[in-house]
């Protein structure tokens, strides 16, 4: 079973920085896409940033220039460096991965969507 475990959330003052990390475990053939989503109270979950296997990344307009996503394919990890944090960045941040796994006994592969449990980021003075 594939699992994602996040770490690094916490309380930070406006203008401060935090670094979130996500580690994947399980029997994984490859991870085509990894991403960070966030959900604030009363809001829908939204994409923050995503990165593919080759390191190509995309960011939401609200975090562009302040957040940096990165991944280590060999270690199956992903990070989100968040700088110049604003109160609007406060939310539960979720790690997401599209994981390619072998279907047991068939010799074929399929993609599955996997989510972490979430980590809380609070930005307040």
Return the pLDDT at 41: 93
| CB within 8 Å of 110: residues ≥ 6 apart | 100, 101, 103
Return the pLDDT at 107: 84
φ/ψ region of 87 (left if φ > 0, alpha if ψ in -120 to 50, else beta) reads alpha
CA angle 51, 61, 30 (to 5 degrees): 10
Return the pLDDT at 9: 93
Q: In order along the chain (125 residues), what is the average pLDDT of each group of 10 residues?
A: 94 98 94 97 97 96 98 96 98 97 86 96 96
């Amino acid at each position: 079973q594939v699992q994602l475990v996040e770490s690094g959330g916490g309380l930070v003052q406006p203008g401060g920085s935090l670094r979130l990390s996500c580690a994947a475990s399980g029997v994984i053939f490859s991870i085509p896409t990894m991403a960070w989503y966030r959900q604030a109270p009363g809001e829908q979950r939204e994409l923050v940033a995503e990165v593919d296997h080759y390191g190509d990344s995309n960011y939401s307009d609200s975090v562009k220039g302040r957040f940096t996503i990165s991944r280590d394919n060999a270690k199956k990890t992903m990070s989100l460096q968040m700088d110049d944090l604003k109160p609007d960045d406060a939310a539960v941040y979720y790690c997401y991965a599209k994981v390619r796994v072998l279907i047991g006994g068939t010799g074929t592969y399929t993609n599955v969507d996997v989510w972490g449990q979430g980590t809380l980021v609070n930005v307040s003075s």
